[in-house]
Amino acid sequence: MSTSDTTPMTQPVASPSLRGILCLVGGATVFSLQDVVIKMMSGGYPLSQVLTLRCVIAFVPLYFLLRFGGGGLRALNSQRLPLLLVRAALLLVAYTTYYLAMATLPLAVVVALFFAAPLFIVVLAQPYLGERVNGTQVLAVSVGFVGVIVICRPGGDLLDPAAFLAILSALVYGMAALLARKMGDTESGAVMAIYQNVIFLAGAMVIAMITNAGTDLSIAVEHRSLTFLLRPWVMPGLTDFLLIASTGLVGACGSFLLTQAYRLAEANVVAPFEYASIPIATMFGWAIWNEVPDRYTLIGIALIIGAGLYVLRSKRKTA
């Protein structure tokens, strides 16, 4: 009897939770690739040039995202325009400081410090949104901040101004996340992303006008983060141009995967897997720049991840 005459066997279908987890880990990997490209470009190009090209390219996928899943162009005419602009400005500061820190510190360290953002969100949730924070959550946040201190090691070799940039990035990102939660009932993710991209582009152009005014401001500084910020624009080769341009598409792809993750599965199921970004960044840092975290960095990372997971678990119980 031929196989066409038999009853087809049922193929196993991955559960929504598993698909959500895979999408989230895929998104974390994609965003890590973007970080790798930006860190690679930080040695020869200015941040404003990288951001400008990234934003211009990102408008293409964002337009289709808005048109087919975000309410169309009419959705941009929002009653909450001031809040959208404030959130976008906060994210401009968050990502600018994040990328500047990346130019100096190992990739895994920057990503780990950035993941203090959920801890800041817990601290700010009560004054921002009136959400209750219990004693165990406060304790978990305290443990997480101890992890931040362990990574930075005051008095040690890693206490670099760039570490404060990464921590500032986490704080400001947390503020922007709370604003997003506040607007989530009326504004789509696509609308928020469009305004974010517009403000990013405007901010990058302002920085570019200052740093390309005629004097190379980067000559007067030695710190790699400041050099990345103040360096004037240079003409990129084809390979570098394509790499920088890819960050716009990569960012859009990563955002789509993260959105899909939270659409397919419950947030409490997939959110802990956001911490996959830290080992992924560690692997990229080791493979490309031979950045091997020491034991203190690993201890600090473990404390931050443990605190974040506990906060997520306690919120799930509360819900």
pLDDT in tens, 62-92: 888 777 766 677 778 877 888 889 989 999 9
Q: What is the pLDDT of residue 317?
A: 59
Query: Mean pLDDT in the chain?
Result: 84
Q: Give the CB-side neighbour count of residue 134, counting CA atoms within 13 A.
A: 9
At 200, phi and psi to the nearest 5?
A: -60, -45
**C-alpha distances in angstroms, 164 versus 38, 40, 80, 147, 160?**
19, 21, 32, 14, 7
Residue 27 confidence (pLDDT): 86
Arithmetic mean of pLDDT, 93-107: 94
Could you write out the three-class secondary structure of 120-176? HHHHHHHHHHCCCCCHHHHHHHHHHHHHHHHHHCCCCCCCCHHHHHHHHHHHHHHHH
Provide CB contacts within 8 A for 55, sequence distance 6+.
197, 200, 201, 204, 248
Residue for token digits 């103040």? 230
Predicted local confidence at residue 5, as pLDDT: 46
Distance between CA 42 and CA 229 in Å, rounded? 9
Is the distance from CB of 256 to CB of 65 less than 8 angstroms? yes
Q: Where residue 123 falls among pLDDT bands split at 50, 70, 90?
A: confident
The yes-or-no verdict on residue 2 having pLDDT over 50 is no
Model confidence at 7: pLDDT above 50: no
State the chain's maximal CA–CA distance in angstroms. Answer: 82
Domain ranges of the chain: 47-233+291-318
This prediction's pTM: 0.86
Q: Give tens-digit pLDDT for 219-235.
A: 778 889 999 999 999 99
pLDDT in tens, 21-30: 888 889 889 8
Q: Are 308 and 142 in contact (CB under 8 A)?
A: no
Euclidean distance between CA atoms 260 and 271, whole angstroms: 12
Query: Which residue did the predictor score with more confidence, 274 or 290?
Result: 290
